[in-house]
Amino acid sequence: MTIKRRDDETWYKLDLSATVYPTLQSRRYSAIYRIRARLTKPVDPKLMQQALDLALPRFPTFKTAMRKGLFWRYLEPNDRPGPFIQEDIRNSCLPLPFHACNRYLVRLYYYDRSVSLEMHHSLADGTGGMCLMQTMLAQYLKLQGVDVPPEGFVFDIDAPADSAEIEDAYRRYATARVKPPRKSDPTYLMHGTAEDFYTLNTIIGVAPVSEVIATAKRYGGTVTEYLCAALLQALLQVQREEHRRKELPVRLAMPVNLRRFFPSVTVRNFISMVYPCIDPRLGEYTFAEIVDETRGYLRYYVNSHFLRGDITKNSSTERNPASRITPLFIKDLAISTAYRFVQNRNSSAGITNMGNLAVPDAMRPYIEQFDICMGQPYSRRTNCSIISYNDRLTMNFSSTIIEADVERYFFRQLVRDGIHVLIESNKEYPEDTGI
Amino acid sequence: MAYCVNCGVELDKSLRACPLCNTPVVNPADLAAPKSAVDPFPAKRAVIERAKRSDVAILVSVILLATMAASGLLNLLLYRTGAWSLAIIGGCVVGWVICVPVLIYTRLPIYVSILLDGLSVALYLYLISITAAQGVDWLLKLGFPILTLAVVLAEVMTLLIRHVNHSFLGVSTYVITSIALMCGGIEGVIDLYFHGHASLGWSAVVITVCAVIDAALITILSRRRLRGEVRRRLHF
């Protein structure tokens, strides 16, 4: 929602999801995600900088700085120079202090043929970030003489930003007459060995989309259901190997793009979480049964009715008069504590699937691969981000722990099912290990 | 093209080991002439800049020095009733000495830093005694003995925690014992100062309670099974 104070001064309220992420901000953690595109030719950083300078003003809520009010944070237009493209780094998704980078909440990196966009989650969800990424890539190609018409994620940079693009869509759809209670069941939590500060281990698996679709169909599910099931099974195996006295249910935190169910063109956050779960206390599950269970859960909960209830519940907390007049520092304390002890303990791992990415045909010959990274997990666990493009399905696991047991069991299941997986990783081995 | 023998996944040419199971890549075809591949990830690592300790130390020192100078000047030039600024200056000195092991010289042994903390508090007490009407008599007979006892107990407790037992139960025993000794010492010194002889009064109650708790703690500590049971039921 945009609020005009004077003709020349505009500021933006944070949307419902965006109010949570800044409260978790610390020296060690920022809610950052990364979208990386691998082009067919090496990146020209000067041209890419020009492309960013052309594309960013088209998204007024991204060219902003985070500010604190007495009761809420807000976004203020940022006219400082930047953000500037910089050489990429191995330990991606570094925490982003709000006062660093000329107060921008966007970072751009290049390395060889890759260009990576890192954004703070309080600006936008993956869809919003992808809009900026593709609009910027379209400008980059235009500067090289390739004409890319605005369509899909590519915006027309000459057209002014529509107010619908920067709306807080949660408010429009928080209309359910009942607020379903939040469930908080005991959940298995991983306890990996922490890496040195700051190391983000990334393992990317690349598989042909056609093979994954065919395999998922064989189990009677979709790609998301199949991959969720593979991750749930991997977590079950990790838990079993810990020989716990009391096994707990394993649960995934999965964001759902609400634009699929509620028409909106917003480039800001518009997601809700669902939690597919397998309870090993009910007995042994075969992999086919896990796929069935996941499929049943997602079919039951991922629809406009249940999601509207979730939005209404979350929105009501924000709209509550008592919470609105509570000073920001008390809200920060309450939200971060609730996140740490309730929300964070409600899932064993995170998974997100952006699906098959729509890219204008004119751009396709110049882009080889897309991958997304959910960034540093809040606790010692692993997050999996999936995206498909050009018959390449990339599964990006990011974690701050040394062990890669979950990733190993996940990819071994795919290989067992006959899927060809290519692995890339930024893991480093000390010289004395002999590797 | 290399595959992991354990996981069955194809590994990128830049990888020296499977990132899933850490099995080294040994491809007999590539042994003679290893292929050079572009690593899909850059080699450069970034670090997060943060304020250096020395900068914080300079900032703290400047703030404390400015406070001391300002209060001293105000006392000399404007508000001349008594040497009240000495209390503020002493407080600043104590604050600075406490900051030393944290900000300035972090390798200072903890025993020395406790001793320095004690000395700075002694200096503070001395500065207060200059301003007080009673003179330095209370300082010598009351202030210094209690301070010395506190410093000695702190040193002994640190030594025990570092070299004998640092478990929760062990530390609780030291703390309870120190409380008992401190209370006994305080009452003894006060009695000597006011009545000329030491006798146990209120501190006897504290010492008795502490002795009972200590006896229970030592029993728990000496019995392994009991110790395990208590830890299991009371962990937090």
Determine the pLDDT at residue A198.
82
Residue of A91, A203, A429 lying closest to B20 (CB–CB)? A203
Q: Given CA atoms B212, B217, B222, B227 in this order, what sign does their dihedral have?
A: positive
Range in B13-17, B34-38, B92-96, B103-107 with the lowest mean pLDDT: B34-38
Can you point out the beta strands (E) in A126-240? Answer: 201-208
Q: Can you tell me the mean pLDDT for B221-226?
A: 81
Per-residue b/e over A364-400, b at no fewer than 16 CB within 10 Å? eebbbbbbbbbbbbbebbbbbbbbbbeebbbbbbbbb
Rounded Cα–Cα distance for residues A52 and B12 (Å) = 31
- Using CA coordinates, name the residue in chain B closest to A425: B19
Determine the pLDDT at residue B174.
93
Q: Given CA atoms B217, B220, B224, B229 in this order, what sign does their dihedral have?
A: negative
pTM (2 decimals)?
A: 0.74
Q: Can you tell me the mean pLDDT for B46-65?
A: 80
- Inter-chain residue contact A198 with B47, CB threshold 8 Å: yes
Residues in chain B with CB shorter than 8 Å from the CB of A416 are 8
For residue B30, name the pLDDT band (cuts at 50, 70, 90).
Answer: low
Is the Cβ–Cβ distance between B95 and B103 less than 8 Å? no
Higher per-residue confidence, A399 vs B52: A399
Determine the pLDDT at residue A55.
94
Residues in chain B with CB shorter than 8 Å from the CB of A421 are 9-10
CA distance A390 to chain B (A): 19
Place of tokens 């480039």: A267
CA distance B168 to chain A (A): 23
Among B residues 35-64, those touching chain A with beta carbons less than 8 Å apart: 38, 40-48, 50
The interface predicted TM-score (ipTM) is 0.84
- Inter-chain residue contact B7 with A415, CB threshold 8 Å: yes
DSSP at A159:
S
> How many angstroms separate the first and last alpha carbons of chain B?
51
pLDDT digits (tens, 9 = 90+) for B130-167: 777 677 778 888 889 999 999 999 999 999 988 887 78
* Interface residue ranges in chain A relative to chain B, Cβ cutoff 8 Å: 27, 38, 87-91, 94-95, 111-112, 114, 198, 201-205, 404, 407-408, 411-412, 415-416, 420-427, 429, 434-435
Residues in chain A with CB shorter than 8 Å from the CB of B10 are 420-423
pLDDT in tens, chain A (435 residues): 455 444 445 888 899 889 999 999 888 889 999 999 999 999 999 999 999 999 999 999 999 999 888 888 999 999 999 899 999 999 899 999 888 888 999 999 999 999 999 999 999 999 999 999 999 999 999 999 999 999 889 999 999 888 888 888 998 998 888 888 877 788 999 888 888 888 899 999 999 999 999 999 999 999 999 999 999 999 999 999 988 888 999 999 999 999 999 999 999 999 999 999 999 999 999 999 999 999 999 999 999 999 999 999 989 888 888 888 888 899 999 988 988 888 888 899 999 999 999 999 999 999 999 999 998 888 889 999 999 998 999 999 999 999 999 999 999 999 999 999 999 999 887 665 666
**Distance (Å) of CA A326 to CA A318, A329, A360, B122, B186:** 11, 8, 47, 45, 46
What secondary structure does DSSP assign to A242-262, as a single string? Answer: TT-SS---EEEEEEEEGGGTS
> How many angstroms separate the first and last alpha carbons of chain A?
53
Asked if B9 reaches chain A (Cβ–Cβ under 8 Å), the answer is: yes
The pair of structure tokens assigned to A80 is 């400082």
- Other residues' Cβ atoms within 10 Å of the Cβ of residue A275: 17
Higher per-residue confidence, B46 vs A288: A288
- Compute φ and ψ for B108, nearest 5 degrees: -65, 130
Rounded Cα–Cα distance for residues B89 and A151 (Å) = 70
Residue of B11, B14, B46 lying closest to A89 (CB–CB)? B46
Amino acid found at A325: I
Disruptive mutation site among A41, A94, A96, A111 for chain B (greatest number of B CBs within 10 Å): A111
Determine the pLDDT at residue A8.
47
Determine the pLDDT at residue A392.
93
- Inter-chain residue contact B15 with A425, CB threshold 8 Å: yes
For residue B207, pLDDT over 90 is answered with yes
Cis geometry, peptide bond prior to residue A219 (ω within 30 degrees of 0)? no
